[in-house]
Amino acid sequence: MSELTAVIVDDEQHCRDALSGILERKHPDVPLLGMANNVPEGIELLSKVKPKILFLDIEMGKQTGFDLLQAIGPDRPHVIFTTAHEGYAVKAIRFSALDYLLKPVDPDELAGAINKVRAEMRTPQTPDQFMALLKNLTRPAAAERRIALPVADGLEMVDVDEVMYCESDSNYTVVHQKDKKRLVISRTLKEFEDILDPEQFVRVHHSYLINVKHVKKYIRGEGGEVIMSDGTNVAVSRRKKQELMDSLARL
């Protein structure tokens, strides 16, 4: 197996120093080929050296690590994102099954990420994963909101308003669409909850995440139940009742 090499692109000196220090001490077998402190420098560095791993900061001033990814195109190293906050971007990264580390970087988590790279050298990150990530990060205006869902043979672009509800099936989620189309996606319901707009999608039950725009009727009860536009009855847990009522009131 070819030797692992790395590059760090991060706009904060202390973060570059901390990560390079852990690499030097704990992973001398992963030589650092260079560091850059912004997107243009990162693009220039990656045009000169071809590392196996790119440690990429998400927020860098007015630009982001995603700008760098779009600039370097599909021939990219194995990317491990680094970020100080677990915001929407991290949820989108997780949804695309890509790797990330939260700062300050924990040496054990770094070791786990490097081991994962070694294991994945046979099955590298796919362009589909990055396309899904970049698509889901844009969060376009309501007029054209689509989500990129990973399916066996690539990506399915789904109109968010066409999704009636998502149903948990162990580590999979069944996405029920308006045209009676069902997609089985290898992501948990929690991951869908993270990536879909909470104003529109409410987790009314541990097994169901519903699109409130597709609620035809609410039936009162301890938690009650909703009838969806396709006639499906979905139970509402007692503790989720108020959240659902608030969402329906905003429609």
Q: What is the pLDDT at residue 73?
A: 85
Predicted pLDDT of residue 72: 92
Tell me 244's DSSP state: H
Domains detected in the chain: 6-132 (3.40.50.2300), 141-250 (2.40.50.1020)
What pLDDT sits at residue 142?
52
Average pLDDT of each block of 10 consecutive residues along the chain (251 residues)? 87 97 97 97 96 96 93 91 92 92 96 91 84 81 74 89 95 94 95 93 96 96 93 95 92 80
At 139 the pLDDT is 63
Q: How far is CA 190 from CA 18, 74, 103, 201, 227, in A?
A: 32, 29, 23, 12, 22
User: Residue 223: which H helix or E strand, with range?
Assistant: none
Q: What is the pLDDT of residue 1?
A: 44
Apex 214 CA angle, 208 and 217, nearest 5: 90
Stated pTM of the model: 0.85
Q: Is the peptide bond before 104 cis (omega within 30 degrees of 0)?
A: yes
Q: Is 23 left (phi over 0), alpha (psi -120 to 50) or beta?
A: alpha
* pLDDT attached to residue 165: 98
Strands (E), the chain: 6-9, 32-36, 53-57, 59-60, 63-64, 78-83, 99-102, 146-151, 154-159, 163-169, 172-177, 182-185, 201-205, 208-211, 215-219, 225-228, 233-235
